[in-house]
């Protein structure tokens, strides 16, 4: 167990595609973390969650917020971690945590051990891990990271949505940063930075590489591998439209910290 860190996650798996990965990896998460709390959408089937339950995870169901209002689910997951008694949490989408634990377990354990040294530790990606994602994701997230750097003065990768958070920083966010959009990627660190009262840092990881293909192994194989799979995603204008809208929301969240009077 790594410094008694609680893993606090959001999870949405309506087709139960991640169950087999959960069966393989849940014991790894159980060894690394002192507790696991998961905010699960109410359309995720019970049998898809059985490995989590067997690993002792605390499961909390709630309606899906959709991509653009994901901040609501993130706030709930953070709150659940604190209510479980955690002094530090690793907040992460569960599919990312599963991929990390399966392919880079030693790194995950090492990163978890660093979390108590900070109030807010942004878990970003190495250049290789960042560019393992489809271009629609890389290009639009690069815009968000550039704007974040201009506002904060820090050239960090904030869009992997994984954070180490202390209890006091989590309570400050829940009390004073009401953002319920996906813009929490930038609003949470900017809110804490502006107070000047919290130890904030960032590290780059390999384990936060592209994870979505884990849900679709047969489909990836059918099109000829991961590169062909990503090429199909990048050829879809709807994917670009979604990613551009996400980037717009995240940039707008940063604007509020340049012009605090703006609502």
Q: How confident is the model at residue 263 (pLDDT cuts 50, 70, 90)?
A: very low
Section 167-188 average pLDDT: 97
Cα–Cα distance for residue pair 226/217, rounded to 1 Å: 9
**pLDDT over threshold 80, residue 260:** no
DSSP 65: -
What residues form DSSP beta bridges with 61? 40
- Angle of CA points 75, 188, 35, to nearest 5°: 45
Structure tokens at 241: 């439209």
- Helix (H/G/I), strand (E/B), else coil: 155: coil
Q: How confident is the model at residue 3 (pLDDT cuts 50, 70, 90)?
A: low
Cα–Cα distance for residue pair 80/43, rounded to 1 Å: 19
At 72-121, the pLDDT tens digits run 999 999 999 999 999 999 999 999 999 999 999 999 999 999 999 999 99
Section 185-201 average pLDDT: 97
DSSP 2: -
CB within 8 A of 44, min separation 6: which ones?
11, 12, 13, 14, 16, 61
Cα–Cα distance for residue pair 137/195, rounded to 1 Å: 31
Q: How much is the pLDDT for 1?
A: 44
Cα–Cα distance for residue pair 215/220, rounded to 1 Å: 9
CA distances to 14, 83, 188, 259 from 182, rounded to whole Å, are 20, 23, 11, 20
Q: How much is the pLDDT for 4?
A: 84
DSSP β-ladder status, 120-125 and 200-205: parallel
**pLDDT over threshold 60, residue 151:** yes
Is residue 229 domain-resident? Answer: no
Q: How much is the pLDDT for 208?
A: 98
Is residue 144 domain-resident? Answer: no
Domain that holds residue 192: 6-134+154-216
Helix (H) or strand (E) holding 244: helix 237-258
Section 4-30 average pLDDT: 95
Q: How much is the pLDDT for 65?
A: 83
Residue pair 151/194 in contact by the 8 Å Cβ criterion: no
At 34-74, the pLDDT tens digits run 999 999 999 999 999 999 999 999 999 999 887 778 899 99
Is residue 177 domain-resident? Answer: yes
Is residue 16 domain-resident? Answer: yes
Q: How confident is the model at residue 10 (pLDDT cuts 50, 70, 90)?
A: very high
Mean pLDDT in the chain? 94
Q: How much is the pLDDT for 259?
A: 63
Specify the number of domains making up the chain: 1
Which CATH number does the domain housing residue 19 bear?
Answer: 3.90.550.10
Give this prediction's pTM: 0.94
Structure tokens at 175: 């009390």
């Amino acid at each position: 167990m790594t410094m008694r860190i609680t893993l606090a996650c959001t999870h949405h798996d309506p087709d139960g595609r991640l169950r087999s990965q959960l069966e393989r990896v849940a014991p790894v998460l159980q060894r690394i973390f002192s507790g696991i709390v998961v905010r699960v959408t109410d359309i995720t089937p019970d049998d898809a969650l059985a490995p989590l339950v067997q690993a002792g995870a605390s499961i909390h169901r709630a309606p899906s917020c959709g991509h653009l209002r994901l901040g609501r689910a993130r706030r709930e997951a953070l709150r659940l971690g604190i209510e479980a008694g955690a002094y530090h949490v690793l907040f992460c989408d569960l599919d990312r945590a599963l991929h990390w634990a399966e392919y880079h377990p030693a790194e995950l354990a090492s990163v978890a051990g660093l979390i108590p040294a900070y109030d807010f530790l942004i878990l970003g990606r190495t250049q290789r891990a960042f560019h393992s994602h489809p271009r629609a994701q890389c290009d639009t997230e690069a815009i968000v990271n550039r704007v974040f750097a201009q506002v904060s003065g820090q050239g960090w990768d904030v869009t992997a949505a994984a954070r180490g958070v202390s209890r006091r920083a989590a309570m400050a966010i829940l009390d004073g940063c009401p953002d319920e959009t996906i813009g929490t990627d930038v609003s949470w660190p900017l809110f804490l930075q502006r107070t000047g009262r919290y130890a904030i840092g960032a590290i780059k990881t390999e384990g936060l590489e592209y994870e979505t293909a884990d849900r679709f192994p047969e489909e990836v194989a059918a099109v000829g591998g991961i590169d062909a799979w990503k090429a199909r995603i990048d050829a879809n204008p709807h994917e670009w439209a979604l990613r551009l809208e996400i980037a717009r929301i995240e940039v707008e969240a940063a604007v509020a910290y340049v012009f605090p009077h703006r609502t």
